[in-house]
Amino acid sequence: MTNLYKLLPKRIEEVDVIIAGGGTAGCIVAARLADADSNLSILVVESGRDNYESPTVIHPALWRGNHVPSDPKVYVHKSAKEKQLGGRESLIQVGNTLGGGSSINLMMYVRAQKCDFDSWNMEGWRSEEMGHYMRKVETYHGTGTENKHGVDGPIHVSKGPFRSTESEEDFINAMMQVGYPRVEDMQDLKSIGVESIRKYVSSDGRRQDTAHAYLHPRLRDGKHPGLHVLVETQVVRVMFDEDLRASAVELRPNPAFQPDRADDPARVVKARKLVVLSCGTLGTPSVLERSGVGQAEVLENAGVPLVTNLPGVGHDYQDHHLTMSCYKSNLPSGTTTDDIHGGYADIPKLLSNQDPILGWNGIDASSKIRPLDAEVERLGDKFKQCWDEDFEKVENKPLVSLIFVAGLLGDRGDIPQGQYFSMAPFTAYPYSRGHVHITGRSIDDRLDFVTGFLTDKSGFDLKTQIWPYKKQREVARRMRIYEGEVSHRHPSFPPGSTAAYNGDIETIEEPASTMKDIVYAPADDKIIEDWIRMNLTTCWHGIGTCKMAPLSSLGVVDENLGVHGVQALKIADLSVIPGNVGSNTMNTALIIGEKAADVIIRELGLWQ
């Protein structure tokens, strides 16, 4: 019996701390507070379901099952139609289960760069200080830079029980042929190059989500009686007393999971000490605005009484811009994710046999890369101006992360059975910004959500995708496993264009080491531009909508994560990041959780 509920017992009317959101960071905050004082009453409120021992959560190879439209472990935010994206709506998936994104993501272990934290210019958040939390969170299995990795943290980092070594080494060798060094440990906060990566997977093949690593053990050990978790329940708003102190939250059953309780009245639970919002980059600003905290004009239009005017709420949304290209391979069956994700594998048999491939996410190598000087020049004057201002002198700042996937990424459509591989470059530091705001008082009212992808006036973000599209094509052509392109997952160049490389391996007559790069005419670049606009998507790395900065810079929280203008309200999720990170974002979310817990423990006087 645990203190995990779908319906909160009537006896729980008031607790010490309410954590709104049981995602990646929220689970960490709850667990660390419970450790600091086992009698501290803590209520975690999660809109999604419990994830305990869910097969598609704990087995890395089944991650794709969490991303189908019918799966309840994700919630899909739909953006406005955006002209610069060909009039498309963007579908942004977020975690909707305990553990949040850590329960459904691709489990890549990639840290931010030193320059990222230092550029935030916030006391207590510089790279030297954040290194402590990087070590605290992890148990690192493997060699690496001395004193950079943790040895006894809750989250295990390993290469897992299965790898597709042939494709991994092939990608790394091809990257070296186009000019990038192989790095033994690229998670040293400074390296640029390509590496054989580790992941948030244990050596025996289990996903390392924060619900299983932090929350569930404490719910089941009988030592944390004050820890309570309420699932399938939405946070409508935070309530404030006359001193603008967060004093309660209003909750309702999530009708997606509990339709029979859709007409139940909202319930109010009081917080004696603190409310922590951890609802994510799109969820947290929405809760704030429904609570009366936000830009006055937005709240007036939504019919929400103003508590405090905080113009930065919901502004400056950003996400790593991602495109995906796919290729045919000569890899044997069982060495890509295609049999599993294509529906050809006998999943029950794999589970029964505890097959090691279940502990694999299909990603064994990745890179952080920068263009050569000559390539910068070819990208144009406006690109070069941005490069010179923000990149040229910061040598450990990547332009792009290029990920290799042993399998077909994206919609499989009518692609025939086979073994494929994919290249997925994402823009590390996009200039484009969007926003997310409420349009009404109800949690069911639509959001005014604009991604802003590719809206920067300089065109830098578009050029930053054109360059890696060409680069990853050259990498793919130099791989031994390459058998040609999946044509409809690439731009369609006209016959006669030198860019219309047909991708047939039999046409390659020269060795990869002396192969000449494909030549693109201006008309080819325009075709690539149009393809990017129609295919660019989220990397599921949304940040920045409640950023940590002064009020004068549209900040929402201070360096201690306290919301400006009110009391006893903090935010602990990726919405607080004031500048982007040159990495996948799970590691940053983890250390935000650990840092937030330390701040709260100190402020509540719980240091032992």
In terms of Cα–Cα distance, which of 233, 257, 314, 321 is closest to 280? 314
How far is Cα 531 from Cα 526, in angstroms, rounded to an integer? 9
Inter-residue contact 220 to 2 (CB < 8 Å): yes
Task: Give me the sign of the Cα torsion angle 600, 596, 298, 236.
Answer: negative
- Of these residues, 212, 224, 435, 541, which one is catalytic? 541
The CA distance from 446 to 12, in Å, is: 31
| Residue owning tokens 């810079």 | 553
Torsion (CA) 416, 505, 468, 372 in degrees, nearest 10: 170
Nearest CA-CA partner of 158 in 361, 347, 352: 361
Helix (H), strand (E) at residue 9: none
Q: Residue 530 carries which side chain, given as an amino acid letter?
A: D
Q: How far is CA 258 from CA 48, 205, 233, 541, in A?
A: 11, 33, 9, 29
Instruction: Write the CA distances from 343 to 4, 61, 243, 404, integer angstroms.
Output: 34, 12, 57, 22
Q: Is 327 strand, coil or helix? A: strand
Q: Which run of H or of E encompasses 485?
A: strand 482-485
In the numeric block, which tokens belong to residue 199?
Answer: 């992941």
Neighbours of 364 (CB within 10 A): 26
Which of the 8 DSSP states describes residue 246? E
Q: Which amino acid is at 162?
A: F
Residue 437 among known ligand-binding residues: no
Active site (annotated) includes residue 541? yes
> Residue 459: is it exposed, middle or buried by C-beta count within 10 angstroms (0-12/13-18/19+)?
middle
- d(C-alpha 542, C-alpha 585), whole Å: 9
Would you say 320 is a known binding-site residue?
no
Rounded distance between C-alpha atoms, residue 590 and residue 208, angstroms:
11
Per the document, the length of the chain is 608
Query: 């529906």: which residue's tokens?
Result: 343
Cβ distance 590 to 328 under 8 Å?
no
- Which run of H or of E encompasses 309? strand 308-309
Q: Is 541 known to sit in a ligand binding site?
A: yes
Positions at the binding site: 235, 540-541
Residue numbers belonging to the annotated binding site for FAD? 235, 540-541
Query: What are the residue numbers of the active site?
Result: 541
